[in-house]
């Protein structure tokens, strides 16, 4: 039994049935977790990365004081 790190809901994940790198979602809080290791199961919250082409823009007009 694996509990959601966020809300302690049983995620219903069986370590025999999942693989590293798999994504599981908590039915309760909706957080997605990536399975980092399977024995024991270790979960890592998946950060939603918004992919757009905008690269990190540094402030162009430096405000030197």
Minimum CB separation of residue 47 from Zn ion in Å reads 15
The 5-34 contact track toward Zn ion, x by CB under 5 A, reads -xx-x----------------x-xx-----
Using the structure block, give the residue that is written with the tokens 């049935």: 17
Closer Cβ to Zn ion, 27 or 59, answer by number: 27
Closer Cβ to Zn ion, 7 or 46, answer by number: 7
Exposure string of 26-52, with b = 16+ CB inside 10 Å and e = fewer, is beeeebebebeebeebebeeeeeeeee
- Residue ranges in contact with Zn ion by CB under 5 A: 4, 6-7, 9, 26, 28-29
């Amino acid at each position: 039994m694996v509990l959601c790190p966020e809300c302690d809901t049983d995620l219903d994940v069986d370590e025999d049935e999942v693989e590293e790198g798999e994504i599981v979602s908590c039915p309760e809080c909706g957080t997605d977790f990536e399975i980092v290791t399977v024995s024991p199961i270790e979960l890592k919250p998946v950060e939603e990365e918004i992919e757009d082409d905008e690269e990190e823009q540094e402030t162009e007009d430096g405000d030197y004081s």
